[in-house]
Amino acid sequence: MAALASSSSLLHSSSSFNSSSAPSISPVSRISLKLPSSSLSSSLSISPSFLAFSLNSRRVSPNSYSSTVVQASGAVEKKKVLIVNTNSGGHAVIGFYFAKELLGSGHDVTVLTVGEESSDKMKKTPFTRFSEITGAGGRTVWGNPADVGKILEGEVFDAVLDNNGKDLDSVSPVADWAKSSGVKQFLFISSAGIYKPTDEPPHVEGDAVKADAGHVLVEKYISEIFGNWASFRPQYMIGSGNNKDCEEWFFDRIVRGRPVLIPGSGMQLTNISHVRDLSSMLTLAVQNPAAASGHIFNCVSDRAVTLDGMARLCAKAAGSSVEIVHYDPKAVGVDAKKAFPFRNMHFYAEPRAANEILGWSATTNLPEDLKERYEEYVKIGRDKKEMKFELDDKILESLKVPVAA
């Protein structure tokens, strides 16, 4: 992967949780045996010895996680899981993949999607592929998560994942219902975007977060009301069924022979994961709730990629060359957030907690995964779709770079 200017190191370190920037965290136990998330061949009997996190350092020694004895003792317990799924944005695909992986592992799954089944939002992926969930034995329902108690009246779940709310107002009704109805485990999809910028990347669990961020307040709340909870902080993701542009933004320009405009130097590092890695991490947490309990996990792959590197990898996947043009957003008078799909800064995290606590391993392989994504891009005809690049043209005009006809 020559296009990758930098990659994160193998993850052998744990990190502490800063008491001033994160919920109170229970002592960590380390699983010494990795188990495939799709396996139902063994269950886990956990006998942890505890060692509290250091509260003074974001990077501590590999031995800061205490050892755990893991014993096989029959079949993994079948769980009844509720996924409260957003109806828009890049996170919707997480619930879709998670549901399919749980079903493939023999669990019982209900997906509650925000809104109405007949809405225009349901005409987009991943919702148009929900038959893959129902065809595997899962159930899909729609409604207002605040009314979850009425929608699923009388039902009892072992685990609930909130993959919808971004603040306490939207999550607390689900959390309060889950608590009152006897849910054993509560999981929350947070965001790596809550980390404060750091001079010492990558972000690791325990780094300072924005205290007033909605996701942070949710993490604090669920840590206070649930005995068994975990939070997952994803970054950017790719994968079939995603309805938020990531790799597509690059493909749109590459296949049309247009320059790929990248703010800054292009050497900024970020993390782009295949969504299957996110779902496998979540599945491990459901299948091993004792280990996951009380922890925050960076829900990301284990390698970084530069912004220029992403452009080159997308071009290679498309079998094309690419012209990369760098620019200063302020100098050309544009908002980089509107002109480019990623943050114009170093922004990447490492999944240290998942590696150490859950025995999880990333499978994201951008060169290969992007080939698959390009095949689907062409299959759906997006390469032939008429598009306008008005903001790109404005930037190119300011830079006095000829605009493609």
pLDDT at 23: 52
| 183, amino acid identity | V
Q: Pick 19 or 281 by higher pLDDT.
A: 281
Q: Kindly report the pTM of this predicted structure.
A: 0.83
pLDDT at 190: 98
Contacts of 230 by beta carbon, 8 Å cutoff, 6+ apart: 185, 187, 188, 285, 292, 293, 294, 295, 296, 297
The answer to whether residues 388 and 332 touch, using CB atoms and an 8 Å cutoff, is no
pLDDT per residue over 1-59, tens digit each?
A: 433 333 333 333 333 334 344 454 443 333 333 444 433 333 333 333 223 333 333 54
- In sequence order, the β-bridge partners of residue 126 are none
Contacts of 400 by beta carbon, 8 Å cutoff, 6+ apart: none
pLDDT per residue over 203-216, tens digit each?
A: 999 999 999 999 99
Confidence band for 89, pLDDT divided at 50, 70 and 90? confident
